[in-house]
Amino acid sequence: MRWIALLLMSACVEPQTIDQATCPPASTLTYADFGERFMDERCQWCHRSDVTDRHGAPSEIVFDTLDDVHDHLDRIYLRAAGPNTTMPPGPDDPPADERAQLAEWLSCGAP
């Protein structure tokens, strides 16, 4: 039920693009201390190259490595970072603070 309410609320919010975001000067988030864990826990259950049931995720959208993430920075931001909540789908969505961290990490170029 919670995820339905979040989906409806997200439909009312204009998506923010990575071009609209700024990297905070004091950001310390890196792939090693944030991005790798986030991708593993929140994205790779559908966006990993060796997943057999991708739940409809396009086969060309994989996040196995940091280079893969860099290839899709804009798309990841638009779908999952900050106020953008269309991914991941379902009841186990990342909390707002994790989405804010994702927005920060991606807007800084996903170091």
What is the tens place of the pLDDT at every residue in 88-111?
987 888 999 999 999 999 999 999
Which residues, at least 6 apart from 28, have a Cβ–Cβ distance to it below 8 Å?
Answer: none
Sequence-ordered strand ranges (E) for the chain: none
Which carries the bigger pLDDT value, residue 11 or residue 64? 64
Packing angle between helix 73-80 and helix 96-107, nearest 10 degrees?
160
Instruction: Give 19-78 pLDDT, tens digit per residue.
Output: 999 999 999 999 999 999 999 999 999 999 999 999 999 999 999 999 999 999 999 999
84: left (phi over 0), alpha (psi -120 to 50) or beta: beta
